Amino acid sequence: MCQLEDISNLHSSNEEEKGRQMSGPGPWTRYKLRLKRKRLLWRGFRSRHALKLTSDKTARIDPAQILLFATVRNEAMRLPYFLEHYRELGVSHFLIVDNDSTDDTAALLAAAPDVSLWHTNAGYKNARFGMDWLTWLLIRYGHGHWTVTVDADELLIYPDHETRKLPELTTWLDQHGQRAMGAMMLDLYAKGPADEQSYKRNQNPCEVLKWFDAYGYWAQRQSRMGNLWLQGGPRARCFFAEDPRRAPTLNKIPLVKWSRRYTFVNSTHNALPPQLNRTYDEPGQEKVTGVLLHTKFLPGVADRARAEQNRKQHFSNSKLYDAYYQSLIENPDLWDVNSTPYSGWEQLVELGLMARGQW
């Protein structure tokens, strides 16, 4: 399911107002955004009834800890490495909503000592692709913590992440008055169709998905909420060449010093209040940013797309994305002669896909 919300930004992006790019939103827009934020918070608050706490380890959360929030569905294959990666980065507690998984996702998570698990069988789409549930958990547990909000197929990295863990980074961000760090979602893929690869649990997905698009991304600013709208990459190249406007959104804000007054709007692409979206630097310097290594294209992507299409829980009931899902089901090969083998964060900094800023 985590594959789906990354196209959920599309409708709102159609509202883009080009003429007003130079000035910030006026008082009326700001007021409307405030109402929107309140409405989303209220939705999140209401959605708590849909969640059932099945494995409660929240008593172990300490005030200064870094917390991770995620909604998952049938991610037993990815989760072992996912948990390991974020533990290694310094995440102390995981708060995860299991949306009615049918594999052993729930058992796996319940067995982990640092995971609190909620179960729900409510509709994913009606919960704004899981965001309502996470909004509630963030209100309830995230206030005052540095929080990581990601999907199970997203691995956060940032400059020097091997030697400097999230506590270092968040202390630094605190010191420099930044409440959020942006990250670009980078699609990784193998050479050859995804289903012809083999991946074992607990394996680093980067060992299977060795390639990425080093170039071919384009960014524009959306004046309404001040967020960046970054698109491109292999999915734009392979599936949306005819209609680039609908290509998946790649900018995310995974790392936020949360306040119970905040809310994400479309997946984690943008948030309210709008200041949170200013993860990029305007006067031409660079701000520290990360990359979410997107491991969607592990084996099984086609089955998953088929299942999602049947469940009708994805964004594309409007038929706009049927072709996209159809292509995924056909087990495509994203590799191209211009693809670049992935070698680590230094490479991504050099390419400009992420930046160290002052960090």
Partner 1 sequence: MSVGIVILVHTALDRARQVVRHWSAAGCPVAIHVDKSVPRKTYDAFVAELADLPDITFTARYRCEWGTWGIVAATQTASERMLSDFPHVRHVYLASGSCLPLRPVDELIDYLEERPQTDFIESATTADVPWTMGGLDAERFTLRFPFPWKRRRYLFDRYVALQRALRVKRKVPGGLVPHMGSQWWCLTRQTLSAILQDPARDEYDRYFRRVWIPDESYFQTLARQYAINIESRSLTLSKFDYQGKPHIFYDDHLQLLRRSDCFVARKIWPYANRLYDAFLTDAEGAMKKTEPNPGKIDRIFAKAVERRTRGRAGLYMQSRHPREDWENGVTAAPYSMFQGFAELFENFEPWLAKSTGARVHGHLFAPDGAHFADGHTAMNGALSSSATLRDYNPHAFLTNLIWNTRGERQCFQFGPGDNQAINWRVAKDPNAQISVISGAWAVPLFRTNANFVDLRRLAAHLQKTESEHLDVLRSTWVKARVRIWTMAEFIEAPMEPLQGILDEIGPTTPRRLSEVPRMVDLKGFGQFLQNLKNQGMHPYLMGDFPVDTMGTTGAQDRPSKPYLVR
Asked if residue 156 binds partner 1 (CB under 8 A), the reply is no
Alpha-carbon distance of 35 to 41, in angstroms, equals: 10
Q: Which amino acid is at 285?
A: Q
Question: In Å, how far are 48, 73, 122, 247, 295 from 118, measured between CA atoms?
Answer: 10, 12, 12, 32, 24
Site for partner 1 in 4-43 (CB under 8 A): 22
Query: Which one of 102, 126, 338, 343 is in contact with partner 1 (CB under 8 A)?
Result: 338
Element (H, E) at 255: strand 251-257
Residue of 25, 80, 167, 273 that binds partner 1 (CB under 8 A): 167
Burial of 146 (0-12, 13-18, 19+ CB in 10 A): buried
When the beta carbons of 114 and 168 are compared against partner 1, the nearer one is 168
String marking each residue 297-336 x if it binds partner 1 according to CB under 8 A = ---------------------------------------x
Amino acid (1-letter code) at residue 75: E
Q: Is 163 an interacting residue with respect to partner 1 (CB under 8 A)?
A: yes
Q: What angle do CA 87, 90, 91 make, to 5 degrees?
A: 65
**Cβ 102 to partner 1, closest distance in Å?**
35
- Interface with partner 1, residue 102, by CB under 8 A: no
Which residue among 16, 114, 168, 303 contacts partner 1 (CB under 8 A)?
168
Shortest CB 38 distance to partner 1, Å: 27
Across-strand partners of 271? Answer: 264
Q: Which residue in the block uniquely carries the two structure tokens 């299991």?
A: 98
Is residue 282 close enough to count as binding partner 1 by CB under 8 A? yes
Give SS3 for 214: coil
User: What 3-state class would DSSP assign to 179?
Assistant: coil
Taking CB under 8 A as the binding criterion, the range among 58-66, 113-121, 191-199, 220-228 that sits at the site for partner 1 is 220-228
Residues interacting with partner 1, by CB under 8 A? Answer: 22, 160, 163-164, 167-168, 171-172, 175-176, 182-184, 213-221, 228, 230, 234, 236-237, 241-245, 251, 279-289, 336-340, 352-358
